[in-house]
Amino acid sequence: MTNAEAVAVLAVRVVLGVIMIAHGLNHWRGGGKIEGTARWFGGLGLRYGTLQAWMSVVTEVGAGALLVLGLFTPLACAAVVSVMLVAGLLAHRPNGFFVFKDGYEYVLMLAAVSLALGVLGPGKISVDHAADIEVTGWAGGGIALGVAVVATAGLLATFWRPERPAERAATTEDASVTGAAGPGTADVG
């Protein structure tokens, strides 16, 4: 890897890492704080919203910090890809592609960049390189994608229980009668 390539990979890694840290901190301290994030996850059909909220904070801040350092890069990339898969599937897919319509365009881009970093590796300006533990190429990409898919499937199989259309209609009808907000109305994302 040339010096220019190492600096380019560093820039991408740091920007993605900072984005993930900011996103995780927003889930914790922004808008509705952890309680609002928990309600939002519940509205997406995930059980144990508070647990989901804290898992998202720890995963996003942790993966972001690892990316900034260039440490355990394929695993950090896997965490980002997994978070983006969950976000894309549950929150953004129903809205179509374009980000201005709250579609999955943005989360797809973050996942693709993360997968590319998994393949390229952290570069020469990283803890992985300094410690001689870099995993790059197909192995790095395979770890990033494989761990992400398994983690996402495990999370969805364990925690995702979306409302059935009849339940959703009953909740909406109850809310309109009482004036209360339904479970899917809090959005802190």
Q: How confident is the prediction along the chain (189 residues), in pLDDT tens digits per residue?
A: 899 999 999 999 999 999 999 999 999 998 889 999 999 999 999 999 999 999 999 999 999 999 999 999 999 999 999 999 999 999 899 888 999 898 899 999 999 999 999 999 999 999 999 999 999 999 999 999 999 999 999 999 999 998 776 655 555 555 555 454 444 444 444
One-letter amino acid identity for 6? A
pLDDT of residue 162: 85
pLDDT of residue 186: 42
Cα distance between residue 123 and residue 45, in whole Å = 39
Longest dimension (CA), the chain: 65
Cα distance between residue 67 and residue 77, in whole Å = 8
Note the pTM of the prediction, 2 decimals: 0.84
Site of tokens 């494989």: 146
**Token pair of 36, please?**
């609002």
pLDDT of residue 183: 45
pLDDT of residue 102: 87
Contact in structure between 180 and 174 (CB atoms under 8 Å): yes
Collapsing DSSP to helix, strand or coil, 172 comes out as helix
**Token pair of 152, please?**
């996402």
